[in-house]
Amino acid sequence: MKRIIALVVLVIAASSTTFGQTTSPSPSQTDKPMEKMAAGSAEQEISQLEKGMQDAMLKGETALFEKVATDDYLVINPLGVVGTKAQAVAGANNIKMESFSADDVKVRVYGDAAVVTGRATIKGQLKATADATQDISGQYRYTRVYVKQQGQWRLASFQFAPVRQLPAQ
């Protein structure tokens, strides 16, 4: 369980610095030029939040996550276990992230909600016990849901899963 919570915190910060891959809403989502411009601005705001959380994670800081995550923030790990904001913050001290990269990152804005999807490749260690660490390196697919509350984008939910190779047939 400790490993799962730590992975949650680690992947929370696995945000891309390559947000040039974001997608704008399709014409069916926004038909008016001002709505398209506002959606582009929202994508930029969310991209900046993602980058800020990435930088904070590399430094072992949780203050930005604590500010951005909603009070009822939930994370769902690959085993289907649900974690809370408090659990994610508590688990952050047990992670040493050495590096990560992200690709296939997309930000989709739907009014006062947004969905971020991507793939993160991480290299890191989890402090499993006082004397032992566990390698948590690998690739993960993730989805984050943001909501706009009182004019600010807030992180409401996060789900991730390790990328697995299909057996050869």
Report if residue 169 sits inside a domain.
Answer: no
Would you say residue 167 lies in a domain? no
Q: Is residue 89 part of a domain?
A: yes
Domain with 124, as residue range(s), is 2-162
Query: Tell me, what's the pLDDT at 119?
Result: 94
Q: Is residue 168 part of a domain?
A: no
Enter the pTM of the model.
Answer: 0.76
| CATH code of residue 16 | 3.10.450.50
Q: Count of CB atoms within 10 A of residue 86's CB?
A: 12
Which pLDDT score is estimated for 39? 60
Domain count, the chain: 1
Is 104 part of any domain?
yes
pLDDT at residue 91 in the model: 85
Output the tens digit of pLDDT for each of the chain's 169 residues: 554 444 444 444 433 333 333 333 333 343 444 344 456 799 999 999 988 888 887 788 899 999 999 999 999 988 899 999 999 999 888 888 888 778 899 999 999 999 999 999 999 998 888 889 989 899 999 999 999 999 999 999 999 999 988 888 7
Q: What is the pLDDT of residue 38?
A: 58
